[in-house]
Amino acid sequence: MLLKTFGWSFAVTAIGLVAAVFYGGWEAFGIVAILSVLEISLSFDNAVVNAGILKKMNAFWQKIFLTVGVLIAVFGMRLVFPVVIVAISAKMGPIEAVDLALNNKDHYQELVTDAHPAIAAFGGMFLLMIFLDFIFEDRDIQWLRWIERPLAKLGKVDMLSVCISLIVLLITSFTFATHAHQHGGAHVDKAQTVLIAGIAGLITYMIVGGLSGYFEDKLEEEEEREHEEEEEAARSGKKRSPVVLAGQAAFFMFLYLEVLDASFSFDGVIGAFAITNDIVLMALGLGIGAMYVRSLTVYLVRQGTLDDYVYLEHGAHYAIGALAVLLMVTIQYEINEVITGLVGVVLIAWSFWSSVRRNRALAAAEGEAGSDEKAEIPSGV
């Protein structure tokens, strides 16, 4: 089971590390290995959240997530995305941007760093909306009840998460603009860029998340209809296309997953520049890490881990909230990537331990109930 799920990840790791040795020797090997670990640690919460969505999709779309989704994640976000950032921010063509990334790495890193405020604002707003919509929803299972109960009551107010996100964005852009004025006004124009990028992230979430939610609501009706059609097809001896079986709901959930993965990958891409500005090594290291995140997502789904450890999803969403705040803070202040990664790992580890304690308490309660029932049964019966 483990080899089947992580087999491609192991293969990509071997190929990537060998390619790194041929490209830049053992130093490149070490850099790629470090980047892989960095990506996995920063994106572990991504895997938990992905698993919560992926378990609602059928086997066909889970395969699409592992094939097409991997291509988008590895080549799109970890290789193409940094080049696109430079092309847009420096107003140059894609070929020029690629040439710059390969032949003038220091200037390339400067341009990507220069675009960081806009990237952080977009990703921060998208992730903040995910966290707020989760925390404001009334749930049967609550982890930190002293926080979640009152927030669930507040969540009954319409559009509250949007209002809070916009307030956070306005405060961030205003603070950034004020800081720029006090230090010569070099980044005054960027404050406007931060505001626009943040609004774009909010709009992206509302469009993609809204469509995903709309079709998810219809998923039960669609599954019932498809079940009837499957029975009819079985009686007539005809086979139906797996794409038809997947439905619109699965497609939009897949789209939502890809945008979510893109938002999670922002900190990994930006953090990678603290280790290397070589676009090839960056793509190899982050690509290997992205493969493990994908495999871990599928492993969590197939093992039913989220059903067994019910607080894991809560911990992952708290990690998302923390990452959203950290991204917004990094618009103006530098934060070490180790801190970013540790926050997510600590929150998920805490939620896992809470789930284990809950399962033990439930098992003990069931054991006591069983003993009481046996004691009440008269002997000889």
Amino acid identity for residue 83 in this structure: V
- Counting as low any pLDDT under 50, the low residues of the chain are 242-246, 379-381
Q: Domain of 270? A: 1-235+242-361
State how far the Cα of 156 lies from the Cα of 174, in Å rounded to an integer. 29
Burial class of residue 365, CB neighbours in 10 A (0-12, 13-18, 19+) = exposed
State how far the Cα of 133 lies from the Cα of 73, in Å rounded to an integer. 25
Other Cβ atoms within 10 Å of 358 Cβ, number: 15
Q: Which helix (H) or strand (E) holds 320?
A: helix 312-329
Cβ-contact 254, 82 below 8 angstroms: no
DSSP-derived 3-state class of residue 276? coil
222 found inside a domain: yes
How high is the pLDDT of residue 48? Answer: 75
221 found inside a domain: yes
Cβ-contact 86, 115 below 8 angstroms: yes
State how far the Cα of 58 lies from the Cα of 244, in Å rounded to an integer. 11
How high is the pLDDT of residue 353? Answer: 92
Place of tokens 């789930």: 355
367 found inside a domain: no
How high is the pLDDT of residue 218? Answer: 62
Exposed e or buried b for every residue in 3-42, given b needs 16+ CB within 10 A? Answer: eebbebbeebbeebbebbeeebeeebbebbbebbebbbbb
DSSP-derived 3-state class of residue 229? helix
Model confidence over 165-204: pLDDT tens digits? 999 999 888 887 666 555 555 555 677 888 888 998 899 8
How high is the pLDDT of residue 221? Answer: 65
Indicate the number of domains in the chain: 1
Cβ-contact 112, 126 below 8 angstroms: no
368 found inside a domain: no
373 found inside a domain: no
322 found inside a domain: yes
State how far the Cα of 298 lies from the Cα of 9, in Å rounded to an integer. 12
How high is the pLDDT of residue 251? Answer: 76
Q: Kindly report the backbone phi and psi dihedral angles of residue 288, in degrees, each rounded to the nearest multiple of 5, phi listed first.
A: -60, -45
What angle (nearest 5°) sits at the alpha carbon of residue 171, between those of residues 165 and 175?
Answer: 145
How high is the pLDDT of residue 381? Answer: 37
State how far the Cα of 77 lies from the Cα of 98, in Å rounded to an integer. 15
